[in-house]
Amino acid sequence: MEENGDLIIARLDPGDADIVSTLVASVIQPLTYYNARARSEEIAKYSTVNLHAMIAEDPDSVLIAVVNNEPAGFCISKYDDGLIWLSWFATTERFRKKGIGRKLLTALENTVAARRAHKIWCDTRTDNLASQSVLREAGFTRVGHFTNHWYGHDFFIWEKYVEPAPA
């Protein structure tokens, strides 16, 4: 959890799952660099029911950014065999270019040790320049390039090692 002025980043409360599901859909739906199948299937992954299941299994898997009581962004991740897979991080159009995406990534990093992991990894579409910029700023390194991969799209793969908590 992080608080910075009017910005609060916290774990998703189960009572807010509907709001976050709608927020995720509102961010993914207009993405022109995803085909219709990708948008539809990705939105379905983050239904209210699925978000409840995610946070029941791992309370740190969904983080939400709120500015003045207005949802501003989200970060969705999953523990994966000693690593954290960063599925999505995004801010709403109204709150872009205010550093919220970077702060969501910092908040995610702060969960890694408690989740017994040592690295975060993720992908970006090759033409998603905004996310690539934020990942680089956050210290992620591009380590791979997949062509014609998920949903037939091209992706870059990124990673960031995170210092384990002292034993």
Sign of the alpha-carbon torsion through 149, 151, 156, 158: negative
Domain 2-161 is of which CATH architecture? 3-Layer(aba) Sandwich (3.40)
pLDDT given at position 164? 67
pLDDT given at position 52? 98
pLDDT per residue as tens digits for the range 28-63: 999 998 999 999 999 999 999 999 999 999 999 999
- Is 140 within 8 Å of 112 (Cβ atoms)? no
pLDDT given at position 5? 55
Which residue has tokens 């791992």?
58
pLDDT given at position 4? 47
123's tokens: 């992908």
Low-confidence ranges of the chain (pLDDT < 50): 1-4
pLDDT given at position 2? 44
pLDDT given at position 106? 97
pLDDT given at position 163? 79
pTM of the shown model: 0.92
> Where do the domains of the chain lie?
2-161
